[in-house]
Amino acid sequence: MIEPDLVIRNGRLVLGDSVVQGGIAVKDGKIAAIAADAALPRVGNEIDAHGNFVLPGLIDCHVHFSRITEETEDFRSGTQAAAAGGLTTIFDMPGSDEKAVLDAVTLDDKRKEAESLAFVDFGLFGGAGKGNIAKISEMAQAGAIGFKTFMLRETSYSVDNDIQLYQVLEETARTGRPNCIHAENPDLVDYFAQRLIRAGRKDPIAHAESRPNICEVEAISRLFLLGKHSGARVHIVHMSTKEGVPILAQAKDKGQTVSAETCPQYLLLTKETMRKLGPYAKINPPLREEDDIKALWDGLSSGVVDIIASDHAPYTKEEKDLGRDDIWKAGPGNPGVETMVPLLLTKVNEGRLSIARFAEAMSTRVARLFGIYPKKGSLQVGSDADFTIVDMRKESVIEAGKLYTKSRALTLYDGWKVKGLPIMSVVRGAVVMQEGKVVGEEGYGRFVAPLTS
């Protein structure tokens, strides 16, 4: 064996459905060998995993880092938060400002910006809406990890009607990349919201009531029908409803290429959180009920719900506080990239998910869905040496003031006790986080483009 640059010993390696005691040798940022500790050479740079789980590097496929002011999240603070939270790769959404990724030029501009700032590896989504259908193919050629479309009429990559939606689906189908869609019926959302506004409702719960389950459920059903006819790879982002799970299962049973993610907020919180935290808990789709939480956990455990993502949507405190007396004025979204892994590992400890299913939902299946497997998402020879080492016995309390994200004051989990922590993040053989402290270098992160479509 060529002398490795790094050897990890004494780990419990999560290899698919199996957990194997052993170690990993790394050379030039790639996995060079996986073997029993005794079979690995001694080198100067070694990590003792102390019997903890070594997972393929965890991936968050849904973050929003590309804000444009000094006070809001950027690739520097966002990827620091990601590394601190045990992540080794993130996928950034197109953005909704003047720098939104709508063509190959804006995608390349964002890539250059991120390459100068990122602490972890990153992929970039292109926006796909009514105004840039002709630009979808060029974004795919430029390396877009996938496409994002809003059914709601509020972004530069929204659609206004089913004809436009179908045209977008047809075009993304030609690229072979997933079309990740915010699935809510815009007409129903507007109808319910206006009815509440006319009644004088400004309280936090009014937001949840303005987007009842039917808004998402109808949209998912319609998307799967249109996706089947157009050949598009429809991926539902931040699925939040109990009714969505059997619809997803049925589509898969019929052989349709569909997928969905859910998020920690929909697995852990109900709309009652809005009574306590008001505009800080305003999220689209909104927080729901206990039976929705149960259905999503069941779907996640069975594999029907494919993956977990944070939908990290960082606002400033000022933007959120606008909604204290009028919930309609608050921005929708909340930070989550840094707290997601410890919150979910706590649930692994409670038996809601196995450690193998957790690794699949946060790494392997993400990499497969977005065409970067086995470069990412795998512990096998030749894969990138991306690892997340987790200590399932370690306990802590989430403290907002200690988070790396610029939106730390808005976390919904301040004071939550967690058991199971990421203690090391390794990106292409380099340690970027150790014991919660980011030790990597700004600008180390590399752009990740799909290997296959």
Once rounded to an integer, what is the mean pLDDT over residues 43-64?
97
Once rounded to an integer, what is the mean pLDDT over residues 82-107?
94
Helix, strand, coil in percent for the chain, rounding step 5: 35, 25, 40
- Over residues 346-361, the pLDDT tens digits come to 999 999 999 999 999 9
pLDDT of residue 416: 98
Once rounded to an integer, what is the mean pLDDT over residues 59-88?
91
**Is the Cβ–Cβ distance between 411 and 319 less than 8 Å?**
no
90 pLDDT above the threshold of 80: yes
453 pLDDT above the threshold of 70: no
CA–CA separation, 111 and 101 (whole Å): 10
CA–CA separation, 93 and 312 (whole Å): 10
- Over residues 155-196, the pLDDT tens digits come to 999 999 999 999 999 999 999 999 999 999 999 999 999 999
pLDDT of residue 68: 64
Write the single-letter amino acid at 22.
G
Residue with tokens 């999560």: 14
**Is the Cβ–Cβ distance between 352 and 359 less than 8 Å?**
no
pLDDT of residue 96: 75
CA–CA separation, 399 and 407 (whole Å): 13
What are all long-range contacts of 276-279, with beta carbons under 8 Å and residues at least 24 apart?
277/412, 278/204, 278/323, 278/324, 278/327, 279/204, 279/320, 279/321, 279/322, 279/323, 279/324, 279/327, 279/330
pLDDT > 90 fraction of the chain, expressed in percent and rounded: 95
- Over residues 257-310, the pLDDT tens digits come to 999 999 999 999 999 999 999 999 999 999 999 999 999 999 999 999 999 999
Once rounded to an integer, what is the mean pLDDT over residues 312-331?
95
17 pLDDT above the threshold of 80: yes
CA–CA separation, 87 and 93 (whole Å): 17
- Grouping H, G, I as helix, E, B as strand and the rest as coil, residue 10 is strand
CA–CA separation, 24 and 378 (whole Å): 12
Q: Which two tokens stand for residue 120?
A: 């972890």
CA–CA separation, 123 and 447 (whole Å): 6
Q: Any idea where the domains of the chain sit in the sequence?
A: 6-54+381-438, 57-369
**Is the Cβ–Cβ distance between 431 and 29 less than 8 Å?**
no
Phi first, then psi: what are they for 414, rounded to 5°? -60, 125
Mean pLDDT rounded to a whole number for the chain: 96
pLDDT of residue 103: 98
Once rounded to an integer, what is the mean pLDDT over residues 367-380?
98
pLDDT of residue 1: 62
* CATH class assigned to 57-369: alpha beta
- Over residues 198-253, the pLDDT tens digits come to 999 999 999 999 999 999 999 999 999 999 999 999 999 999 999 999 999 999 99
**For 6-54+381-438, CATH number?**
2.30.40.10
Phi first, then psi: what are they for 4, rounded to 5°? -70, 160
**Is the Cβ–Cβ distance between 292 and 241 less than 8 Å?**
yes
Write the single-letter amino acid at 108.
D
CA–CA separation, 376 and 90 (whole Å): 11
pLDDT of residue 2: 75
**Is the Cβ–Cβ distance between 391 and 423 less than 8 Å?**
yes
Q: Where are the alpha helices (DSSP H) in 97-161?
A: 104-117, 136-141
Residue with tokens 């989430």: 398
Phi first, then psi: what are they for 135, rounded to 5°? -100, -5
**Is the Cβ–Cβ distance between 228 and 257 less than 8 Å?**
no
Once rounded to an integer, what is the mean pLDDT over residues 373-401?
98
